[in-house]
Structure 1
Amino acid sequence: MKHAEKIKLGISIGDLNGIGSEIVLKTFDDSRMLDFCTPVIFASAKVITFLKKHFKLSFHFQGIDDASNAIDGKINVVNVWKENVTINFGEEDVKAGEYAFKSLQSATTALKNDEIDVLVTAPINKATIQSEEFKFPGHTDYLAQELGGESLMFMITDTLKIGLLTDHVALKDISNVITPELIQKKIGIIQETLKQDFRVEKPKIAVLGINPHSGDHGVIGKEDEEVLKPTLEKIREKGDLVYGPYSADSFFGSKNYKNFDAVVASYHDQGLIPFKTLSFGNGVNFTAGLNKVRTSPDHGTAFEIAGTGTANINSFKEAVFKGIEIFKAREEYKELTENPLRKQKKKI
């Protein structure tokens, strides 16, 4: 575990025409943030200088050519590119998508090489970033390819954690994608991340049904009866605390989610609509299952307010704090599992 140096927190700048750069720079304009980590922003000194002036910020930064040269306790900006870049706030532009990918690619390489400890990604535009090198529906799938492990979108706050069986999958395809193998794999990832990243020794997990009212015994679709229920029963036979399927329409309104360490939603909006409603802009998107820690804010590029200086930084700041917390928890978990005697002493 790191003691002498602060955690090096890498940041991909996202789509420059969106609010990503604003929330990143406003977060670290507060010098107290440097007490928690050493930020390493992947962009260019020219762009950061322009943005600093545009948003009337006062922070100081250090331009570097490689993340391995990051100075502890300073705001570091890796010069991923040297040329001038035109920023047109609020516009969808494939050129902005190119720079978003350059930043992400450089940050991911630094993460793989242990030059940074944690990656926090600012929002991208999923359309303009598409290219021969990036053919993914979002960050999660790209990082799953680049980093070891099986990825899972895990939306988190201190009191609510929602994992997804399927994330960026069209609604018409969901019932074909959800298989017993997928259910077991995703629930296994959530169990492991709750143990190693959130210090939950015996996770208690709720699973939401695929169809309205979990299919009403097959009247409204057979997937819950034929796929979900028997798979959950197999998981329970191993002694795991996995419950459901629960009808999604009443699960959150009844506050039943408070009885569990995590909730598994069958598809994207089934999980994210209640999550974003209950988290009030303070939620974090954590990519569970990878061998590295990546978090992001729970919102997109918000082109409609980009450049106005009115973007809310809460979710990004939470993503920074959660990334640091998860990294520390994972390091602690490694130490305890590698040295069982330490675990015994901790319990005494």
Structure 2
Amino acid sequence: MSSNKPVIGISCGDLNGIGIELIIKSLSDNRIMDICTPVIFANNKTISFYRKTLSENNFNFSSLRDFSRINHKQINVFSCWEEDVNITPGVLNEVGGKYALISLQTAVQALKEGHIQGLVTAPIHKSNIQSEAFNYTGHTPYLKSAFEAEEVVMIMCAENMRVALVTEHVPVKDIAAHLNTDIILKKLRIVNDSLQKDFGISRPRIAVLGLNPHAGDEGLIGNEEQAIIKPAIREAKNENILAFGPYSADAFFARGQYEKFDAVLAMYHDQGLIPFKSLAIGAGVNYTAGLNIVRTSPDHGVAFDIAGKGVADHQSFSSAIYYCIDIIKQRLEYQQQRANPIKKVMPEVTAKLPDEELEEQSD
């Protein structure tokens, strides 16, 4: 890092989506240069194409081909390809996916080599990016493989809530088959660890949702809660993880119980993301916990329907950049505290823990 400013890499996403528009809008506020050095992985012509579609922006950049020549006073565009590319905003085609992957691969390599300290990924389209080099359901499993992580967790973050997922892009009919006590326990460990080292919460509280309606109603509506989820929670508590549940998902969110916890672990994608996107305050951010690097992204997709029209809302993307910077700094503080521990008496926790009697509540 230069002058305590992290170098933040930004992959461009699908060339025909809203990704580059979001990047330009987010980086047009020059105050971002006070806290990081942005490096966009694309090429000059692609960035210039979208800059011309925006009537008002204060966006200038330096072309970069050698990381030893990063300009820490300006936005950098690292040239990932030389050829001219036919950009067609709003169109789903092979071009958008091909160059999204090139951008992502180049950024990941820069992370591995230490040229950048964090990565913010613009949205990809999960079907047109498929190839021999990308046989994954999204960024999260790709990065898990690229950085050889044993397990990772998608955590959706907002001002008032964090929602983590046990399963991600899995067909609904297959969700139960992907669940077992071991995987839930692994996810709880990662979420607990991330809340401590990435978000600075010393004793995080984690709520665990049930899989079935009414959290199974004591086995009347499915037995996954009894056979799989409760044993994982018990083992997590044995490991000094403050995990509670399983909660009936509908009542849990409707009654605002998420406000009592530092994170919520949902069993599947829509169980967690529908309430998150409905109840979250501020712009949502997708964070990948469990990696040895920091990666964030906005909480939305490519939005082909508005691509190239200059109307995309960049709040989530801007928040993803700020989250990336904050987590990098928090990790450094955590490492410094671990390296130089100071003995002190911690105040006793006086806040009341969630009522155990509510853990299996149902409507």
TM-score (norm 1): 0.96
Aligned match of 1:35: 34
Offset from partner CA, 1:119-156 (integer Å, 9 cap, x none) = 00000010100001000000000100111432110101
Shift of 1:260: 0.5
Number of corresponding residues = 345
CA distance in 2, matches of 1:143, 1:201: 27
Higher share in helix:
1
CA distance in 2, matches of 1:107, 1:240: 34
C-alpha change, 1:135 and 1:159, in structure 2 (3 Å) is same
Q: Are 1:282 and 2:280 an aligned pair? A: no
Any conservation in 2 of the 1:67–1:116 contact (CA below 8 Å)? no
Aligned match of 2:23: 24
Any conservation in 2 of the 1:52–1:58 contact (CA below 8 Å)? no
Aligned match of 1:60: 60
Aligned match of 2:269: 268
Aligned match of 2:136: 136
Equivalent runs, 1:164-183 vs 2, <5 Å: 164-183=165-184
- Percent of pairs identical after alignment? 47
CA distance in 2, matches of 1:45, 1:94: 20
Shift of 1:3: 6.6
C-alpha change, 1:202 and 1:346, in structure 2 (3 Å) is closer
Shift of 1:237: 2.9
Q: Are 1:91 and 2:61 an aligned pair? A: no
Q: Are 1:294 and 2:295 an aligned pair? A: yes
CA distance in 2, matches of 1:273, 1:89: 28
C-alpha change, 1:65 and 1:215, in structure 2 (3 Å) is same
Shift of 1:218: 1.1
SS in 2 for 1:323: helix
**Between 268-277 and 24-33, the greater mean CA deviation after superposition:** 24-33
Shift of 1:285: 0.1
Structure 2 portions without partners, runs of 5+: 348-363
CA distance in 1, matches of 2:221, 2:345: 53
CA distance in 1, matches of 2:307, 2:176: 37
Shift of 1:220: 0.9
Aligned match of 1:330: 331
Shift of 1:338: 1.6
CA distance in 2, matches of 1:183, 1:318: 28
CA distance in 1, matches of 2:345, 2:28: 42
Offset from partner CA, 1:5-42 (integer Å, 9 cap, x none) = 42111000000100001000111112122112111000
Structure 1 portions without partners, runs of 5+: none
TM-score (norm 2): 0.92
Offset from partner CA, 1:182-233 (integer Å, 9 cap, x none) = 0110000000000000111111110000111111111111111111112212
SS in 2 for 1:252: helix
